[in-house]
Amino acid sequence: MATTSSDLPVVLTIAGSDSGGGAGIQADLKTFQEHDVFGTSVIVALTAQNTLGVHGVHEVPADFVTAQLDAVASDMDVRATKTGMLATSELVHTVVKGIRRHGLTNVVVDPVAASKHGDALLAPEALATVRDVLLPVATIVTPNLGEVALLTGVEVTGTDDLDKAAEAMKALGPQWVLIKGGHLPDNLEAVDLLFDGERMIEIATARSASTDTHGTGCTLSSAIAANLAKGMDVPSAAQVAKDYITGAITHGLRIGAGIGPVDHGWPRRPVPPTDDAQAR
């Protein structure tokens, strides 16, 4: 029997391609597959990238970004949309026009400004466009602390600053904000803060010692989008996504000579035996 769209929700990622497979479109599609949704994509930029860094970026012309988005959204019942690397102000405008034109909902915005290695993935002049044009259409935005500083000017140095960061991001227009605070030295439980203008909800998991963390932001935001497409509310979608990315980081892959990728397929990998089991 054929599977229908009601059984397998369609999710769209609009982002850049990572030739190394750890982040971007590739990470998004792997995440969608692991969450039992049907992944579609609009590629806004190609990157020459590996675990050591980004070695080149080739932006896709805006009219072809529009063609990709129109092709998917005019034919399929897109239940959630995630945006990642959008590169330039022109491409941000192009994507937002497409979101509005097709009435796309459950929009998850990962406001990607730089790679895990610090390589710029967003033109400086595009920051204002992200802030003024993209964030107001977001169901939820998922900035890291560096992106919070770029977009709001709020510097987060400890967990006491997370409330202020959430309020500053919420003022830019998204329905929900998820501040990713796991890198803070005083954040022993890797607490992220979810805020809708009224409720401050802490989402905590155990901190992982893994340094193979390439693709964490892309994967988290894609997992949220997949869960929203399956009918979860925002707090539930964020909590399930947080649990998933924590496992993916804990099982990070030693691939390449630099920062390895998280393991998107960790839930279906065999559990390694414990020392006690090996002793028996």
Of 51, 205, 216, 246, the catalytic one is 216
d(CA 205, CA 203): 7
**190 CB-near residues (< 8 Å, 6+ apart):** 181, 182, 204, 205, 206, 207, 208, 246
Cα distance from N-terminal residue to C-terminal residue, the chain: 46
Specify whether 250 is catalytic.
no
Specify whether 180 is catalytic.
yes
Specify whether 218 is catalytic.
yes
Of 21, 218, 246, 260, the catalytic one is 218
Of 30, 82, 116, 180, the catalytic one is 180
Of 20, 24, 182, 217, the catalytic one is 217
Of 213, 219, 246, 252, the catalytic one is 213
Long-range contacts of 229-233 (CB under 8 A, 24+ apart): 229/9, 229/10, 229/11, 229/37, 229/79, 229/80, 229/106, 230/9, 230/35, 230/36, 230/37, 230/79
Specify whether 246 is catalytic.
no
Specify whether 265 is catalytic.
no
Query: Which residue, chain included where needed, has tokens 């997370």?
Result: 162
Specify whether 215 is catalytic.
yes
Of 22, 215, 252, 260, the catalytic one is 215
Q: Which residues are annotated as catalytic?
A: 180, 213, 215-218
